[in-house]
Amino acid sequence: MKTQRTVTLASKGFILLSALSLLSVSMMAFANPQSVMDLVHVQLNNTDAFSSIRGVYGGVGMTLFLSLIYLMLRDTQSGLLFLCLLWGFYALSRTITIFSEGALGDFGNQWLLIESVFFILALVLALANQRAMPGNRAV
């Protein structure tokens, strides 16, 4: 019973951490899209560029944040599986870049590490959460 509670709290905490990290970038993009692109040294030169960053990092980021909060409260297991996809595909995208365009810079390497660790954490928590659910026998 105590293990189940610990896994549930860790799972919800991880979903919340992920949601808040996406929210912070989303709010930055809504307020100042250039600040997001400054992280990768890209200059936005026109209103379509500003609009696109605001939409993708701001709007999509806010959608992800709200979805994760909902899943954290209503379906923790689905939230963890969703984060496996999210963090896993972020890491895969950076890995594809390494093979297609070459080595990443400091920013890309740092985030490849973070996204890979978050993917592994989400996977481990999803597996632990599944085993800790009532009615499931540990293998």
Per residue in 39-79, pLDDT (tens digit) is: 999 999 999 999 999 999 999 999 999 999 999 999 999 99
Taken in order 86, 87, 88, 90, is the CA torsion positive or negative? positive
- For residue 10 the two structure tokens come to 């860790």
Q: Please state whether the predicted TM-score (pTM) of the whole model is above 0.85.
A: yes
Distance (Å, rounded) from C-alpha 13 to C-alpha 80? Answer: 11
Q: State the amino acid at position 72 in one-letter form.
A: M
Percentage above 90 pLDDT, the chain: 90
Which residues touch 111 (CB under 8 Å, ≥6 apart)?
90, 94
Distance (Å, rounded) from C-alpha 83 to C-alpha 18? Answer: 8
Model pLDDT for residues 23-38, shown as the tens digit of each residue: 999 999 999 999 999 9
Q: State the amino acid at position 45 in one-letter form.
A: N
Distance (Å, rounded) from C-alpha 98 to C-alpha 29? Answer: 26
Predicted pLDDT at 135: 62
Tokens 């890209």 belong to residue: 42
